[in-house]
Chain A
Amino acid sequence: MTEQSTGDVLVADYLARVRRAGAGLPPDRVDELVEDLSAHIAAARAELGVETETALRTLLDRLGDPTAIIAEAAVGEPVAPPAPVAPPRKRGLMVTLLVLLGVVIIVPVLACAIGLVAFNYYQVGGSGSGVVVDSGPAPAPTRSAPSVESTG
Chain B
Amino acid sequence: VAAETISAWLRRGTLEYCVLALLGSGPRYGVELVRELAASPALTATEGTLYPLLSRLRRSGFVDTTWQESPVGPPRRYYTLTAAGQRALAEFRQEWVPFRDAVDHVMGTGSP
- Tell me whether B92 is interfacial, beta carbon within 8 Å: no
Among the listed stretches B68-76, B80-88, B102-110, which one makes contact with chain A, having 4 or more residues with CB under 8 Å of it?
Answer: B68-76
B49 (CB) vs chain A CBs: closest residue: A72
Q: Nearest chain B CB to A12's CB is how many angstroms away? A: 16
Q: Is the CB of B29 within 8 A of A43?
A: yes
**CB pair A36 B49 closer than 8 Å:** no
Q: Are A62 and B73 in contact (CB under 8 A)?
A: no
In the complex, A45 Cα to B72 Cα: how many Å? 10
List A18-67 residues whose CB lies under 8 Å from chain B. Answer: 29, 32-33, 36-37, 39-40, 42-47, 62-66
Would A75 and B52 count as touching, CB distance under 8 A? yes
A36 to B30, CA, bound (A): 8
Contact B30 A40 (CB under 8 A): yes
Main secondary structure of the interface of B (DSSP, over half): helix
Interface size class of B (residues with CB under 8 A): 20 to 34
The answer to whether the Cβ of A152 comes within 8 Å of any Cβ in the partner chain is no
> What chain A residues lie within 8 Å of B70 (beta carbons)?
43, 46
Given A46-B72, A72-B49 in contact, is the A40-B34 Cβ separation under 8 Å?
Answer: yes
Contact (Cβ within 8 A) B73 A68: no
The verdict on B37 contacting chain A, using a C-beta distance below 8 Å, is: no
B48 & A37 in contact (Cβ 8 Å cutoff):
yes
From A37, A69, A71, A75, residue with most partner B Cβ within 10 Å: A69
Contact B76 A43 (CB under 8 A): yes
Task: Say whether B45 contacts A68, CB under 8 Å.
Answer: yes
Interface positions of A (Cβ within 8 A of B): 29, 32-33, 36-37, 39-40, 42-47, 62-66, 68-69, 71-73, 75-76
Known: A37-B48, A69-B49. 5 other contacts (CB 8 A): A33-B51, A47-B31, A72-B53, A75-B52, A75-B56
5 nearest A-B residue pairs (beta carbon): A46-B73, A64-B46, A73-B52, A63-B48, A69-B48
